[in-house]
Amino acid sequence: KSPAKPVKHRTKKTVTTEQEVLPAYMDLDYWHGNLPNEDTANLVKEEGQYLLRKDLVVLTAPDSILLSVRTGHKVVNAIIKEVPTGFRICDREFHNVTALVDYYQIRKIPINISDDMEVTLGNPVRRKAWELRHKMITIQKELGSGSYGVVYLAQLTYPRQKPITVAAKMLTEIDNDASLALWKEARVMQEYDHPNITKFYGVCNDNMPYYLVMEFIKGGSVDSYLQANPGLIVYKRTKIASEAASGLEYLHSKGCIHRDIAARNLLIDKVAKVSDFGLTRKTRNYKIDPDKPMNLRWIAPDVFESSVVNKATDVYAFGITLFELFVVPYDIPYSHWTADEVNKNVVENGFRLAPPREMPKEIGGLMKECILEAHIRPNFKMINIFLNAQLKKMEREGMDTEGKKKFKLW
């Protein structure tokens, strides 16, 4: 006879694509995985609302679960302890987490948080569409390294749907700063939907490794694309600039500053898309420490005096990116200078890049305006209008297909 099948208890296990056995409570629709406090507060908004999670920062108690509940203006956490015979809270033990939560939620029995605080469970906060499960991701091959991990080609499969080819950024560092950086990027990206912004699918955060799942762009980064296509015509270079400006105009309209605009952070397929939101902040002004490492070749000199980045800082970086888009063969800005020399010449002595000779005169004028003093730089709405007008002019003059029309160059 074949071996008897194991009995399926209420504490059944779930298997991920990596065949790792996970606790059954991770299948609950109000389980939100390893979630930072800030994101918990954003989800649990109404009195009594609750969710289950692990504490992203305090991972010293792997056998504990947090039951996070909104009470007044704050979110409090009741600790559920996993024990050999089940789960314990407030000296009461249950066979599984579902029974535990139902006991307090259905009967409206208060949970003691501390000697002077009790909370009563209201409605659960269900998982959002962007909270993906690991079993939905199938890793295929490595694409490269990101700002805090490795990027993989992967397949994302929603229930009863065909797989979608995606890029999955895997968090390889497990320190608090790296984990919080991933969540900051996810927090920014989940709000945006624009043809020139990389599409965000979600985060896998039930267990390590965490994945940030994004649209896969076949053409790769624009800097690599320019290196591989030195003969790219002026029209197509201008089109990349226009599409990037459109994405950045949208980003700024949502009150966000990107903080890391460069050709390496633009991706290209049929259109160019702004990517890498690891440094992006939803704020009008953001205070930074100028002594910390920065992308010196793209950062506005005024940042070193004010210690503040804002929308005008993004415009300066876009001006430097315009240089990248038109210099032939492709090269980084100030390629003949070390970082110390860039600091001395640009930040201290006021040197500014000249438009490359391959750049049309009109676009060269735009580039120069973008790297002027902060208060007179154009905004991205103006930049987008200007670049669209340049594209239409090129199309009228026959630049759209052959690129043979002669332009007045620097």
Task: Read off the pLDDT of residues 373-384 as tens digits, 9 standing for 90 and up.
Answer: 999 999 999 999
For 162, phi then psi, to 5°, come to -75, 150
* Residue after which a domain boundary falls, among 215, 233, 263: 215
Give the confidence band of 1 by pLDDT, cuts at 50, 70, 90. very low
> CA nearest 50: which of 91, 88, 86, 104?
104
Domain that holds residue 51: 14-119
pLDDT of residue 111: 95
| CA–CA distance, 386 with 241 (Å, rounded to integer) | 11
| SS3 assignment for the chain | CCCCCCCCCCCCCEECCCCCEECHHHHCCCEEEEECHHHHHHHCCCCCCEEEEEECCCCCCCCEEEEEEEECCEEEEEEEEEECCEEEECCEEECCHHHHHHHHHHHCCCEEEECCEEECCCCECCCCCCEECHHHEEEEEEEEECCCEEEEEEEECCCCCCCEEEEEEEECCCCHHHHHHHHHHHHHHCCCCCCCECCEEEEECCCCCCEEEEECCCCCEHHHHHHHCCCCCHHHHHHHHHHHHHHHHHHHHCCEECCCCCHHHEEECCCEEECCCCCCEECCEEECCCCCCCCCCCCCCCHHHHCEEEHHHHHHHHHHHHHHHHCCCCCCCCCCCCHHHHHHHHHHCCCCCCCCCCCEHHHHHHHHHHCCCHHHCCCHHHHHHHHHHHHHHHHHCCCCCCCCCCCCEC
Q: Note the pLDDT of residue 109.
A: 95
pLDDT confidence of residue 276: 77
Active-site residue flag, 260: yes
Mean pLDDT over the full length of the chain: 85
Task: Write the CATH number for 304.
Answer: 1.10.510.10
Same-domain check for residues 105 and 140 = no
Q: Which one of the listed residues 39, 206, 260, 302 is annotated catalytic?
A: 260
pLDDT at 294 over 80: no
The count of structural domains within the chain is: 3
Report the distance separating Cα 125 and Cα 75, nearest Å. 13
Q: Are 80 and 89 in contact (CB under 8 A)?
A: yes
Say yes or no: 197 and 93 in one domain.
no
Instruction: Look at 9-13, 130-134, 248-252, 260-264 and tell me which has the smallest mean pLDDT.
Output: 9-13
- Minimal CA–CA distance to 16: which of 186, 191, 131, 133? 133
pLDDT over 90, % of the chain: 62
Query: Does pLDDT of 163 surpass 50?
Result: yes
Q: What is the domain-level CATH number for residue 24?
A: 3.30.505.10
Whether residue 313 lies inside any domain: the answer is: yes
Please indicate if the annotation marks 239 as binding a ligand: no
> What is the model's pLDDT at position 410?
37
Quick: pLDDT tens for 83-141. 999 999 998 999 999 999 999 999 999 999 987 899 999 999 999 888 999 999 999 99
Range of lowest pLDDT (60-74, 175-189, 293-307): 175-189
Q: Averaged over 53-77, what is the pLDDT?
A: 82
Residues 164 and 83 in one domain: no
Is the predicted pLDDT of residue 404 greater than 70, yes or no? no
88 and 169 in one domain? no
Do both 301 and 382 map to the same domain? yes
Position 284 confidence tier, pLDDT thresholds 50, 70, 90: low
Quick one: average pLDDT of 51-56?
A: 86
Question: In this structure, is residue 6 part of a structural domain?
Answer: no
Question: Given pLDDT bands bounded at 50, 70 and 90, which one contains residue 58?
Answer: low
Which one of 215, 239, 266 terminates a domain? 215
Structure tokens at 186: 């996810």
In degrees and rounded to multiples of 5, residue 134 shows phi and psi of: -60, -35
Q: Give the residue-averaged pLDDT of 9-35.
A: 68
Q: Select the more confidently predicted residue: 319 or 24.
A: 319
- Are 245 and 361 in the same domain? yes
Cβ–Cβ contacts within 10 Å for residue 117, how many? 11
Q: Is residue 307 part of a domain?
A: yes
Residue 405 lies in a domain: no
Per-residue confidence (pLDDT) for residue 286, from 0 to 100: 53
pLDDT band at 280; cut points 50, 70, 90: low
Q: Looking at residues 141-152, what average pLDDT do you find? A: 81
